[in-house]
């Protein structure tokens, strides 16, 4: 479901696929080639969510923002870069995710965290508020800790994953039909 919230309306680039069970509300900008998978929720009601080109947010992902406050008069948006894969049930809250990042299944990335380009966040990890994850590393745990540099194969995987999910989304768009 794609719907406005007051005067805030989602903006979708070309070749975007949003599963019918997903919910995209308000000030959400989806760039070209983005895919939003079943039961994902992107709620841009009190600030802006931006998802970069060829990124995919898999089943059950939740993306939200922070409202304006005394500490943050503008609030805090949530931004996801290009060719990012966000695994099943991950939560992104008022954070910034760079380009070519893998956010593992069930991970939580909290307020004001910054994830630089070329990072893998292992499944179930928790990125604490305000933490910065340095480019080129694998992070694991709760709280997430730098474990080791990424391999060349892991770095190459980012673009492969983005292309795989873009192609799979096209198949879902043309080959899936409700049976009820």
- The residue extents of the domains of the chain are 2-174
Question: Is pLDDT at 177 greater than 90 in this prediction?
Answer: no
User: Would you say residue 173 has pLDDT above 80?
Assistant: yes
The answer to pTM > 0.75 is yes
Phi/psi region, residue 78 (left: phi>0; alpha: psi -120 to 50; beta: rest), is: beta
* Candidate CATH numbers 2.70.98.60, 3.30.43.10, 2.70.70.10, 2.160.10.10; the one for domain 2-174: 2.160.10.10
* pLDDT single digits (tens) 128-167: 999 999 999 999 999 999 999 999 999 999 999 999 999 9
Note the pLDDT of residue 79: 98
Confidence band, pLDDT 50/70/90 cuts, at residue 10: very high
Residue pLDDT, tens place only, 51-105: 999 999 999 999 999 998 888 889 999 999 999 999 999 999 999 999 999 999 9
pLDDT tens for each residue of 81-94: 999 999 999 999 99
User: What average pLDDT does the segment 21-45 reach?
Assistant: 98
């Amino acid at each position: 479901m794609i719907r406005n919230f007051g005067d805030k309306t989602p903006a979708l680039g070309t070749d975007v696929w949003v599963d019918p069970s997903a919910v995209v509300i308000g000030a959400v900008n989806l760039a070209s080639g983005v895919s939003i998978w079943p039961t994902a929720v992107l709620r841009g009601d009190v600030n802006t969510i931006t998802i970069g080109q060829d990124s995919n947010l898999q089943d059950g992902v939740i993306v939200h923002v922070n409202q304006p406050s005394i500490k943050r008069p503008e609030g805090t948006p949530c931004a996801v870069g290009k060719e990012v894969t966000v695994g099943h049930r991950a939560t992104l809250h008022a954070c910034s995710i760079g380009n070519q990042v893998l956010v593992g299944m069930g991970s939580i990335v909290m307020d004001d965290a910054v994830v630089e380009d070329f990072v893998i966040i292992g499944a179930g990890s928790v990125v604490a508020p305000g933490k910065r994850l340095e480019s080129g590393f694998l992070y694991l745990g709760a709280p997430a800790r730098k474990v080791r540099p990424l391999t060349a194969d892991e770095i190459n995987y980012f673009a492969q994953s983005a292309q795989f999910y873009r192609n799979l989304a096209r198949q879902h768009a043309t080959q899936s039909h409700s049976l009820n």
